Chain A
């Protein structure tokens, strides 16, 4: 298949820009895609018209949109779908190859992410109910109704959910998929190397019967992203701690930042630590360690050295392999400089003292590797002597974690913000303290990997509460 031209979608209408950039296949000069870029002012103009996109979705009932979403999931996973402007079709396998060619993700990881996305589509009814706490969807169709015997009415906070997508993780598209069933159009800004997933999801939705007007896709430069962030009614974006801080007081913006997810073992379970090594390894290395829900710090009251050694030994088995190797679990870096910067940051941390790279004794070669024209970082497990060590709480875009010893009684004071915490314990008193801890966003009690999440519960905010607000109402009589 020749390189497709990914156009701008303006409420579903194809717009082929005169500002076109070519995205090459990683490590080659061969084009993978041509991408139309939108100018910032065009996006401003289109944002004024998003009311009509929402009106198109409002013609459907929530139940119809839930059904469409379910059908779209099947189509996304199985069907050949249009790609680009020239009438070419993309099979699921073509999608895997295209995404692999620009993102550096191994095929096996892409298939895993497809499956995860498929699960979001399929479970949309459960997710919808979970996020609305069991709301009868007819309330959104009618505008008002009852929930748990109480009168309720919800109004949308926005005509669009804008999402500034990253290039490194197709699964994040899971975050916006439920918005369609909630009757809120999406405006997506894809990452430069990853137009494939949002495009394919949109095509699946349209084939399943969703109105094309509900989908806008704007590949754009920084000024275009800035316009979206400043102008859209509700915005999801991904960034580091400074981005989170920049927007922390803006209710329109939900920043998905660094997760600093942690795996904790309690005093009551620590002497059986061998039982949890599989779960820890999965938590650190799933999705090539790129998710905010991957464990980056393992906190234990004792046996730190032994646990670090056991986890490091297992992580070192994960090596850079050919992208099409079914056993490949490690992703290359689309931006080759990232691997060098991250490796330098880890080395700097090690040189500052109080930290040992336990994986070094098990892995083949250096952490930084090159293969098939791409840069890789081999998994790394660091044993640190305290939370004060600069690598103790760090998160990088590859399988990386630290092991730190800390008495159970002090753990919750030391861990800081944590998107996900898995706490292996049966100690009720400690469990109660864990549930009370304000720094923990998602909490797993027991032997649950941090990377396994249920989408019917809030993830860095509740999508329904982001898109709708409850209003008070009284109706004397209705004609």
Chain B
């Protein structure tokens, strides 16, 4: 796909989603009411992705304060929904309703994975927060979609966040050790070839056992920002350069932005992520004037627009900042590189506790 083709596909998707979410037959009460109060019809005025700036930023509070039923598109009416929660790093967790999006997202992601490092039919282990998160179902679906089963070890990052906030670091370490004991037991005694976990938990497992030495060939990782030095450490030392490290950037609201693991080393472990366009779009914006897209190579705040039939979320300002990167031969749209917490130098966010 060329950049022009990708752009045309995205614009087409935008028109389709405007028609879907702002029509009485298919749209949800939240957006239909919004259209009435806004006094303009996105179906008429939003014809390309550039027109998305006509929407205000989607607000966190809407996913906290509004009833979930108000986000149920009329097209899905009567069909029970899943409720997924975000991590809660920046306050109370947000909730998102969903049906099949996670399956679509992870099936699409599956096509990006290497069969050499994530063998078809291989079993998985997920070590990380399960509970109300989309990830728990998504990773299991990914494993199943690739013909394997998935083991789970749970942890509660919201509790860990509280423990760290009161500086009870030893308690946090004890909790981590408790999680690790379970993960290590399963990895040692079950036939597992693929893992999903967070960077810190991956490092923590690697402190206890040789991950590659226990048969794991591929590691799909996400959850927190990683410096190039940390990515190198995980690939070269934790995974001993034997298993493949696949960093991803994503959350309950977006799906998965993927990286190109084969090129990590050549890029000095600077990770660029590409959104699952056209289902979601990432834009690097000027934090002061968010309608302006930053130039390539410049840092800016990450803005997410989600464009699925289940969920429309325009211009949500993520908690992160990143470098705007050029399209890649594999992904013909902008990437976001070297993601880090937004305002890391000005405020304290407890991020990536696990």
Interface residues of A (CB under 8 A from B): 17-19, 37-39, 41-42, 44-45, 48, 226, 230
Contacts and interface: CB of A to CB of B under 8 A. Distances in A.
A42 B268 CA distance: 17
A230 B170 contact: yes
A45 B237 contact: yes
B207 A45 contact: yes
Contact of B269 (A18, A38, A226): A18
Contact of B233 (A42, A226, A230): A42
B203 interface: yes
B230 interface: yes
A18 B169 contact: no
Given A18-B228, A39-B229, 9 more contacts: A18-B227, A19-B228, A19-B229, A39-B227, A41-B230, A42-B237, A226-B169, A230-B170, A230-B173
Given A18-B269, A19-B228, A41 B233 contact: yes
Nearest to B234: A41
B228 A41 contact: no
B232 interface: yes
A48 B228 contact: no
A48 B206 CA distance: 12
B200 interface: yes
A62 B312 CA distance: 71
Contacts of A44: 203, 207
Contacts of B203: 41, 44-45
24 contacts: A18-B227, A18-B228, A18-B229, A18-B269, A19-B227, A19-B230, A37-B229, A39-B227, A39-B229, A39-B230, A39-B233, A41-B203, A41-B204, A41-B230, A41-B233, A41-B238, A42-B233, A44-B203, A44-B207, A45-B203, A45-B206, A45-B238, A226-B169, A230-B170
Contacts of B207: 44-45, 48
Contacts of A48: 207
Given A230-B170, A230-B173, A17 B229 contact: yes
B271 to A, nearest CB: 11
Contacts of B200: 41
Nearest to B208: A48
Contacts of A38: 229
CB-based closest 7 A-B pairs? A19-B229, A41-B203, A18-B229, A18-B228, A39-B230, A17-B229, A19-B227
Nearest to B206: A45
Residue of B233, B237, B238 ringed by the most chain A CB atoms within 10 A: B233
Interface string B191-205: 000000000100110
B230 to A, nearest CB: 5
A399 to B, nearest CB: 34
A38 B227 CA distance: 11
Interface in B241-299: 268-270
A39 B200 CA distance: 11
A202 to B, nearest CB: 22
A41 B229 CA distance: 11
Contacts of B233: 39, 41-42
Nearest to A19: B229
A178 B192 CA distance: 49
A448 B169 CA distance: 43
Nearest to A16: B229
Contacts of A18: 227-229, 232, 268-270
A37 B227 CA distance: 11
Nearest to A36: B229
Contacts of B170: 230
Interface in B177-229: 200, 203-204, 206-207, 227-229
Nearest to B203: A41
Nearest to B237: A45
Contacts of A41: 200, 203-204, 230, 233, 238
Nearest to A42: B233
Nearest to B172: A230
B179 to A, nearest CB: 15
Contacts of B204: 41
